[in-house]
Amino acid sequence: MLFNSFAFALFLPVVFALYWGVFRGLRARNLLLIAAGFLFYGWWDWRFLLLLLATSLTDYFVALAMGRTSDPARRKVLLGISLAGNLGTLGVFKYFDFFSRSLADALHGLGFAHDPLLLHVVLPVGISFYTFQALSYTIDVHRGRIAPVREADTFLAFVSFFPQLCAGPIERASHMLPQFQTPRLFSAQQATDGLRQMLWGFFKKIVIADNCSRVVDEVFDASGSLPAPVLVLGAVLFAFQIYCDFGGYSDIAIGCARLFGFELMRNFAFPYFSRDIGEFWRRWHISLSSWFRDYLYIPLGGSRGGRGMAVRNTFIIFLVSGFWHGANWTFLAWGLLNALYFLPLLLTGRNRANLDVVAEGRYWPTVSELARMLITFALACIAWVFFRAADIGQAFAYLGRMAGGLWHAEGRAGTLDFLRDHLGFMPAAACLALLVLAEWWQRTRQHALQDLAFARPLRWALYIGLVLLIVFVGDHAEQQFIYFQF
């Protein structure tokens, strides 16, 4: 079920009313959330509910078995079962065909004819998210950081919690499980702020991301014949498309969870105001970046073995992060490029600079801060071309054509023609400017509508204005969220 669908507009108030008005006890509410989560997920394809259930029950019983033994060897075997189950499932559904095709291509290059064995399976929505969330539980139980949960319904509610089931944030068991084990009381303040964050998320998704997607698709599909300035525009619009699409989903998920008394971790912290790539990655998809830090980078040794180990582990993290996003060489190239961006900061010891909020206490950034933000944004846009391109060849051709023709005067006419043909995008472009200004103004907050210091009539005028923009400027084709395919 999509957040931006008529079905969800009916689903959410019904679940909300049952949760607070009918189901009273802790266990009853958890069972309702399980039913809601399975209905929400099964709306897309009910057959994959079996996969979600199998993943959940495997990790539940593995953790219980860990809790009954103190033998390190046994506990390692049990953890191996969880890792094999989760990563094996992910491998079959997401990577099997990719590796099979890559092997066939390699053999063909060596002169051997080989037809790849392909499964042609549909990638289950959210599989990369809920498998990593479940893994955080078994790994933490193995490390002794948390005790295994004995109530199966509590664990199922944790894995299948519908606001963040399909695209995160990827929650830690140590953060979320206690919330499912504690009675929840309705908070009007918490719910109201959740609605504000949801409104901002819908604005980002429906008005900005979905309108940008139409232009971006057109630019990338015809990139071989468009002038360089249009290609630059396409790369910039994709940067905002993916941010507003995924960041919008996160805002809706976090706000929705607050309606039910839950606090999810923050997933985006206005990343395009970053002053270097290190800061960007502390602000972009925070739940995944911190997951890789806690469960891969630090276990590999982190930076404890000196600069060489830190460089090695950094490249591993970025490459694995790229591969997590999809079975395509473009994602590996995207991860590698970000690792190369990060390398100078690591070698100079500046990878932990800029931990504060840019221009904190001031209305505007300094010239130096603005220049660094623009450079970081430009680097991110270049990397996003690899992320969006159909294959490596298209990515390099896109960047080559963009760089080679940027200063040629003959591209101006084609650029003007393109802009003239897309005058209908201008209202969305104005909304994009509004988004940048609003998030800059609220950059010290959790989201752009939090703690607005306006009089109540002005606040309500803003909320109504955003609703009207969603209705009249938004794209209402119920476009799928980009990260559903990951």
CA nearest neighbour of 63 among 177, 184, 182: 177
The DSSP line for 334-367 is HHHHHHHHHHHHHHTT-TT---S-TTTTSSS--H
Residue in the block written with tokens 């706000």:
255
Residue 133: C-alpha distances to residues 87, 161, 172, 310, 462 (Å): 12, 11, 6, 26, 36
Neighbours of 144 (CB within 10 A): 10
CA nearest neighbour of 485 among 338, 379, 339, 331: 331
Neighbours of 151 (CB within 10 A): 14
The C-alpha atoms of residue 383 and residue 235 are separated, in whole angstroms, by 9
Catalytically annotated residues: 325
How big is the chain by its Cα radius of gyration, in Å?
23
C-alpha neighbours within 13 Å on the C-beta side of residue 92: 8
Question: Contact, 166 vs 41, CB < 8 A?
Answer: yes
The C-alpha atoms of residue 220 and residue 460 are separated, in whole angstroms, by 39
Neighbours of 124 (CB within 10 A): 23
The C-alpha atoms of residue 426 and residue 473 are separated, in whole angstroms, by 10
What separation, in Å, do the N-terminal and C-terminal C-alpha atoms of the chain show? 16
The C-alpha atoms of residue 387 and residue 336 are separated, in whole angstroms, by 11
Residue in the block written with tokens 């918490």:
190
